[in-house]
Structure 1
Amino acid sequence: MKKLNSKHFMAFAGVVILLVFFSSCKTEVKTEKEGQYPIEPVPFTSVHVTDQFWAPKIKINHNVTIPIAIEQSEISGRVKNFEIAAGDAKGEFCSEYPFDDSDIYKIIEAASYSLQTMPDSALQKKLDELIEKIRKAQEEDGYIYTNLTIAEKNGTNPHPWVGDGRWNKVHELSHELYNLGHMFEAAVAHYQATGQRNFLDIAIKAADMLDRTFGWGKLEDYPGHQVVEMGLVKLYRATNEKRYLDLAKFFLDVRGPGGSEYNQAHEKVVDQTRAVGHAVRATYMYSGMADIAALYNDESYLHASRAIWQDMVYGKTYVTGGIGASGGNEGFDEPYNLPNMAAYCETCASIGDVFWNYRLFLSDGEAKYMDVLERTLYNALISGVSLTGDRFFYPNVLESIGQHSRSKWFGCACCPPNIARLLPSLPGYVYAKTNDAIYINLYMSNTAQIKLGDEDVTISQETQYPWNGLVKMTINPENKARFALKLRIPGWARNEAIPGDLYTFMDGVNPEVTLNVNGKDMKVKPEHGYVTIDRKWTKGDVVSLNMPMEPREVKADENIKADADKMAIQRGPLMYAAEWPDVEDGKVLNLIFDKDKELTVEHNDHLLNGVYTINIPARIARATKDGGLEYSEEKIVKLIPYYAWNNRGPGEMAVWLPYNEKSVRPLPAPSIASKSKLSASRPTKSLIAINDQLMPKDANDHTWPYYHWWPENNAWEWVQYDFDSEETVNKVKVYWFDDGPFGGCRIPAEWKVMYKSGKNWVPVKTLGQYTITKDSWDSVNIEPVKTTALRMMVKLPERFSTGIHEWVIE
């Protein structure tokens, strides 16, 4: 299962919080905070984005994605759960997962941010209605978790993950604290965006209940899925109620040792040095650790955060910025184990990675964190939503044979509302400040109003980034004022593909970045990734920064076996991919590319909402029947930005491009199976796996696609080949997919082969026994038959399902 968590660093922002005095029964909202980050964000409310890359995405998010999220929450019963818990409707818990309340909170957070950019009275009214339903569902003492409340009202059992009552399985799968963390984040976002306190008071009531329940000498337990820590910190920063900050630290301090790596409870958090386990849980926890490190000035927390970050970035991050290689734990694998087609790279993990890196920047002021953030943002994160805003990826692979496509929604719907709240919060990541300096971290056309000490400073950016590296910044202080302007020079413009050496540029070129102020050239000597311009600023001062955006070839560390003898193409912050519509016969994975030829760039205004593409020479590699290779003539292949793939339908795609025979995957010589038409008792896109001639190394190999019948069990299922013409068959063999002991598939209970005779299916006559083995081929010789179709019948085990890697016919 998965959860998500987005937090828009607006909460960090000191966002124009109103100083209002309420009655003594309410927590007072204040403007001054006891704890601060060394660097403070400039809130999203102060930055108006006008560019042609992000502004349209934010608009589509408002007009399409958020309404879809609301609609799906109503269709799935997530909204009705609150009505039933409040006593305004009758029935059982409606939706699939007991933690589904969290999606409503994330949607409110997304809409709150979006209302700041695009006022919408209808959306505001909808939020008020949702918040009122939440208020009525909240129990008298502040507890709110509709699955348990409904069960208690009906006298029925809650979901098995919940246990017998409150907090019984809090560090397992109930996710009661996970839900509340999202509520706290949403309530603060709503208060900051609207000035209304209706949701904030609900959150305060729930937080006070938590504070009475958990803590040293009380219930000493931790959440199974982190996020409550970040939510409590946001609530503290909005109210200055230090109990909430202390409780956030408690939930971290009480974690480990002796728990599971899966949810990062194997060690005390301050003793951890490796990125492990479920990637979304991990990045949410690491974000909370960064909060505590800064607000308590706790060096042990910061030391652990830096060590974990280095472990992740130096060995466990994809070239797209995605994290979490393994689908089995939806998280981190061992260093350098970064498969491409089996990459998980959950969208929510990318969002969590953005949260964490920004917090580390606020603590250390080093551009390397923003470099990772930018790489993730422009690639692995926004690939999670279609250009139309209505289709979503859960995993974000780096290679496909066509089995992947975005979905309208998910049962565990963490990713869509998570990305819906990240996009409108993006303006809050552009700038940051200290008392005497302004950091410019991201480049996009915008106008920002920044309070710097006693001075009001307006900064306007004009740029076509990420398509062009020229940025013009106009500085307008209200009065002449001296302060430092710190411009991030991205790693890609400093000849650094990523912090560390996991990926490096192949050409050895050092880009020449130029900078001038009011037309006067300045030396570009970055420190910690920033060029500092310290001067007295006057209205109308203009800073021009130009970062060359030549396409660059990237190679991976030699320890990443999946990328050996391959290259990835990067231009500016964007990674590129070869995709099926742009190549002959839609075949991408069998191309060999020329790494020595010049790459050319082309603007395509009508392609994929307007993109710059890269042209690269390539040839098709084919296997011959005698085991050799042959190549087509060289042709130009058009590469597209990775984030835009799969917007023209499913098909082959690759980020890592082979450039020699050792890494190319030639088109296989035709076989009976490869030329056959496929069908199955339960057809899915992955059915193409059974005759793709990509052979597994073991039953649980996720390198290549596989077909499965999960979650079906204890039943007969089938797969079928239909031939173009009559074929003579004398042998069949099959390699089973089995992801035991943790997955849901096992080798079958039995299997048999049928052939088509006229309109009837007839069992083949075998010349031996049907064997059933794991991690090897099961083959059976048969009396030769002439037929136009072959069907394999598979009996699924009593308690498990079954899958197939490959089915070969001879």
Structure 2
Amino acid sequence: MKYCLFFLLICAKLSFAQNLQDYRISPVEFNKVKLTDKFWLPRVETNKEVTIPTSFARCENTGRLKNFEMAAKKTGKFCTTFVFDDTDIYKTIEGASYSLAVYPDAKLEGYIDSLIVVIANAQEPDGYLYTARTINPANPPSWSGKERWVNEGNMSHELYNSGHLIESAVAHYQSTGKKNLLNIAIKNANLLVATFGPGKRSVAPGHEIVEMALVRLYRVTGNESYLKLAKFFIDQRGIKQYDAKDKNPWKNGAYWQDQTPVINQDEAVGHAVRAMYLYAGMADVAALTGDKDYLNAIDKIWANMCGKKMYVNGGIGAVPDGERFGNDYELPNATAYNETCAAIGNVYWNQRMFLLHGDSKYIDLMEKVMYNALLSGVGLDGKTFFYTNAMQIFDGPLHKDAEPGRSGWFECSCCPTNMSRFLPSLPGYIYAQFKDQVYVNLFVASSTDLKVNNQSVKITQQNNYPWDGNLNFNIDPQEASNFSLKLRLPGWAINEAIPSDLYSYNQKGKAAFTIKVNGKNAKYQIEKGYVTIQKLWKKGDKVEFVLPMEVKKVTANAQLKEDAGKIAIQRGPMMFCAEAVDNTAKISAIKVPENTQFKYTFNPNLLNGVAELSGNAVTTAANRNNVIVPLKLIPYYAWANRSKGEMSIWFPEL
């Protein structure tokens, strides 16, 4: 009998392994791309020099590190507010590890090693690592539950902590080659495998990310039990019994995306960060297992989010109560939440959707998020942040969650530390490859070396994007090589404000673009939103791709009642806003005449160098009613870097 059971287990394992595949398209890894970009490189360097050291310092002076030290001694009292505060150290180590891969720093590497010792000492012998309980198991914080895992489906965040530990450990290992943190993560993951699964404990993780993390660990170790557990966690959703008729998202399971099995879900619901991590995890598992039901579900959910639940700046999570998605077309401006972490999660998910489908619309959406809703989350100084990203700030009473100015830290500091780990990984979103097809997804000045048809090919792009649409590429194969170069044709360049009818441009028709190879008009095809040039490439070939950088007026779908009769202003991928410091009239009293034409200028002395748009508006303020006033706009990401005051993205149109 034992031999039969053993044989069945071996067959099941082989069957699972034989069914494994992966994303059709592969991203070019971040450490294989060298940035030279005038826009993003300074931000990556500021992250290295300011954001990461600041995050480590704040983890120390707020007690986050002390929690690990007390856990090692099993004495004291958990000294921070949230049971997931451990993850701020993990996320900062992840960002620092990415940075080390590009900018070697012996001092930083030594500091990280010292933190890993502290983390290792806090881990329990069986692999459990959760300082909120280990410090005093008899009296943990209320969210933790009296025993391990009993409150995981709600608010304990035990698996969320494990997820960020694993994400950090894999990044550290891949960047440094060291296994000191990876071994801690493997020990923790092995405990999860021993605890959860068929015939063991079952739970739908209360805050997703462990699913993505287990897939990353599987990729590094080849241990299929991690991938199986990731799928098991995803499949636990919708099993718990809730009152489906109850509209309260906490009582019907929607807050945790637990209202129905994932394969039956077709709407972005609940806590926006949790949702992004779940959908990204589903994409990972679907890529590896070929699960078409997962694919069908996330395709529908993406269409719902893009078509009915996203702000014009790419922000998601409209409802402050629970940091969550609202109903379809529920996108209020005065109370918009738009958590920075949700924007980061949205980038993760859209990148994966592109890798699955090869369609530029996912990168279009990712670009919108990156240059607007995500980038606004960190100040130009690298040490001030937004947790939420407002659509408008007007004088008078504000919603309790509205942030009229940036903060140095938050009691719940997930957003600053999430930003510290995202920015140094940005080069990994620029290029991708499928066999002899090379994708250029983001227009970020950089270079990379690829293997195409077993030939070395160097691609260099030079530009002044996002301020200028003149894009130049040098294609340098070691030897002449036939392959397809696929340059993304952004939706904004062909009068598509978003890959849905949620927002539109006033302008009609298709905007023109030009593309040349070695100074001559190129032969190309447009495939899934990519200008595709297939030819025999030779060393020294040059591609010129010119995108029209027009100032465009954006209008909202009629279902967005609050935006009726209003316009937003966009140029290239950038959304613009009006800020009080630049304008004499009250922003809340401004209307824009229909015939207003905005003039573009670049000001190198403002906000580290930004585009400015200027035009005429009319003020409706009581003492100046119908007076023509100058209106100045700046990129949305740059607001609140000088002073507090009114701000808006949307303007009533006359």
TM interval, short-chain normalised: over 0.9
Determine the C-alpha separation between the residues in 2 that align with 1:481 and 1:139. Answer: 55
Residue identity opposite 1:136 in structure 2: N
Residue identity opposite 2:625 in structure 1: E
Partner of 1:412: 412
Partner of 1:184: 166
Residue identity opposite 1:226 in structure 2: E
Determine the C-alpha separation between the residues in 2 that align with 1:657 and 1:526. Answer: 35
Aligned to 2:334, which of 341, 347, 368? 341
Determine the C-alpha separation between the residues in 1 that align with 2:594 and 2:468. Answer: 24
**Structure 2 residue 70 is the aligned partner of structure 1 residue 76:** no
Task: Calculate the TM-score normalised by the size of structure 2.
Answer: 0.93
CA apart distance, 1:453: 4.7
Partner of 1:125: 110
For the 8 Å contact 2:34–2:427, the answer to whether it is kept is yes
Determine the C-alpha separation between the residues in 2 that align with 1:453 and 1:104. Answer: 42
Determine the C-alpha separation between the residues in 1 that align with 2:308 and 2:384. Answer: 31
CA apart distance, 1:33: 12
Aligned to 2:633, which of 628, 639, 660? 639
Partner of 1:659: 653
List per-residue Cα deviations over 1:731-777 (Å, max 9, x = no partner): xxxxxxxxxxxxxxxxxxxxxxxxxxxxxxxxxxxxxxxxxxxxxxx
**Structure 2 residue 84 is the aligned partner of structure 1 residue 99:** yes
Aligned to 1:57, which of 26, 36, 43? 43
Q: Report matched runs for 1:447-596 at 5 Å.
A: 447-523=447-523, 525-584=525-584, 587-596=586-595
Partner of 2:133: 148
CA apart distance, 1:478: 2.1
Structure 1 unmatched ranges of 5 or more: 1-31, 661-810
List per-residue Cα deviations over 1:488-538 (Å, max 9, x = no partner): 001001210000110000021522110011112025642211011111211
**Structure 2 residue 106 is the aligned partner of structure 1 residue 113:** no
Determine the C-alpha separation between the residues in 2 that align with 1:338 and 1:93. Answer: 38
Superposed CA RMSD in Å reads: 1.5
Determine the C-alpha separation between the residues in 2 that align with 1:641 and 1:622. Answer: 25
Partner of 2:4: none
Q: Report matched runs for 1:653-802 at 5 Å.
A: 653-660=647-654
Partner of 1:789: none
Residue identity opposite 1:438 in structure 2: V
Partner of 1:223: 205
Determine the C-alpha separation between the residues in 2 that align with 1:179 and 1:597. Answer: 51
Aligned to 2:287, which of 288, 294, 297? 294
Determine the C-alpha separation between the residues in 2 that align with 1:90 and 1:211. Answer: 28
For the 8 Å contact 1:33–1:240, the answer to whether it is kept is no
Determine the C-alpha separation between the residues in 1 that align with 2:295 and 2:634. Answer: 39
Determine the C-alpha separation between the residues in 2 that align with 1:504 and 1:521. Answer: 30
Determine the C-alpha separation between the residues in 1 that align with 2:386 and 2:178. Answer: 34
Determine the C-alpha separation between the residues in 2 that align with 1:364 and 1:150. Answer: 46
Partner of 2:401: none
For the 8 Å contact 1:493–1:572, the answer to whether it is kept is yes
**Structure 2 residue 316 is the aligned partner of structure 1 residue 330:** no
Determine the C-alpha separation between the residues in 2 that align with 1:597 and 1:428. Answer: 40
List per-residue Cα deviations over 1:653-708 (Å, max 9, x = no partner): 11001113xxxxxxxxxxxxxxxxxxxxxxxxxxxxxxxxxxxxxxxxxxxxxxxx
Determine the C-alpha separation between the residues in 1 that align with 2:201 and 2:109. Answer: 38
For the 8 Å contact 2:405–2:643, the answer to whether it is kept is yes
Determine the C-alpha separation between the residues in 2 that align with 1:125 and 1:298. Answer: 42
For the 8 Å contact 1:44–1:425, the answer to whether it is kept is yes
SS of the residue 1:217 aligns to: coil
**Structure 2 residue 338 is the aligned partner of structure 1 residue 353:** no
Residue identity opposite 1:68 in structure 2: T
For the 8 Å contact 2:596–2:617, the answer to whether it is kept is no
For the 8 Å contact 2:20–2:289, the answer to whether it is kept is no
For the 8 Å contact 1:594–1:616, the answer to whether it is kept is no
Determine the C-alpha separation between the residues in 2 that align with 1:272 and 1:450. Answer: 39
Structure 2 unmatched ranges of 5 or more: 1-17, 243-252, 399-403
Partner of 2:34: 48
List per-residue Cα deviations over 1:634-671 (Å, max 9, x = no partner): 232111000000111110011001113xxxxxxxxxxx
For the 8 Å contact 2:20–2:290, the answer to whether it is kept is no
Determine the C-alpha separation between the residues in 2 that align with 1:270 and 1:620. Answer: 51
Partner of 1:201: 183
SS of the residue 1:151 aligns to: coil
Determine the C-alpha separation between the residues in 1 that align with 2:93 and 2:255. Answer: 29
Aligned to 1:649, which of 628, 643, 653? 643
CA apart distance, 1:452: 3.0
Partner of 1:602: 601
Q: Which has the higher strand share?
A: 1
Determine the C-alpha separation between the residues in 1 that align with 2:420 and 2:411. Answer: 17
Task: Calculate the TM-score normalised by the size of structure 1.
Answer: 0.75
SS of the residue 2:38 aligns to: coil
Q: 1:439 to 1:145 in 2, by over 3 A?
A: same
Q: 1:205 to 1:35 in 2, by over 3 A?
A: farther
Residue identity opposite 2:236 in structure 1: V
Partner of 2:119: 134
SS of the residue 2:576 aligns to: strand
SS of the residue 1:589 aligns to: helix
Partner of 2:15: none
SS of the residue 1:570 aligns to: strand
Determine the C-alpha separation between the residues in 1 that align with 2:101 and 2:647. Answer: 37
Residue identity opposite 2:110 in structure 1: K
Q: 1:572 to 1:241 in 2, by over 3 A?
A: same
Partner of 1:381: 374
SS of the residue 2:165 aligns to: helix
Q: 1:453 to 1:255 in 2, by over 3 A?
A: farther
Q: 1:435 to 1:331 in 2, by over 3 A?
A: same
Residue identity opposite 1:123 in structure 2: L
SS of the residue 1:526 aligns to: strand
SS of the residue 2:447 aligns to: strand
Partner of 2:53: 67
List per-residue Cα deviations over 1:520-577 (Å, max 9, x = no partner): 2025642211011111211111111000101101100011011111100000000000
**Structure 2 residue 384 is the aligned partner of structure 1 residue 398:** no
Determine the C-alpha separation between the residues in 2 that align with 1:90 and 1:245. Answer: 36
For the 8 Å contact 1:315–1:502, the answer to whether it is kept is yes
Q: 1:398 to 1:535 in 2, by over 3 A?
A: same
Identity %: 49
List per-residue Cα deviations over 1:437-476 (Å, max 9, x = no partner): 1110000110112233522221101000000011111111
Determine the C-alpha separation between the residues in 2 that align with 1:189 and 1:455. Answer: 29
List per-residue Cα deviations over 1:270-297 (Å, max 9, x = no partner): 1100001100000100000111111111
Partner of 1:445: 445
For the 8 Å contact 1:431–1:439, the answer to whether it is kept is yes
Partner of 1:256: 238
List per-residue Cα deviations over 1:374-396 (Å, max 9, x = no partner): 00000000000101111110110
List per-residue Cα deviations over 1:197-217 (Å, max 9, x = no partner): 111111111111110110011
Higher relative contact order (CA 8 A, sep 6+): 2
Determine the C-alpha separation between the residues in 1 that align with 2:257 and 2:458. Answer: 43
Q: Which stretch of structure 1 is more off in the superposition, 254-263 or 123-132? A: 254-263
Q: State how many pairs are aligned.
A: 619
SS of the residue 1:116 aligns to: helix
Determine the C-alpha separation between the residues in 1 that align with 2:217 and 2:110. Answer: 24
List per-residue Cα deviations over 1:309-333 (Å, max 9, x = no partner): 0000001001100001100121101
Determine the C-alpha separation between the residues in 2 that align with 1:249 and 1:305. Answer: 15
Determine the C-alpha separation between the residues in 2 that align with 1:453 and 1:227. Answer: 36
For the 8 Å contact 1:391–1:409, the answer to whether it is kept is yes
Aligned to 2:24, which of 12, 15, 38? 38
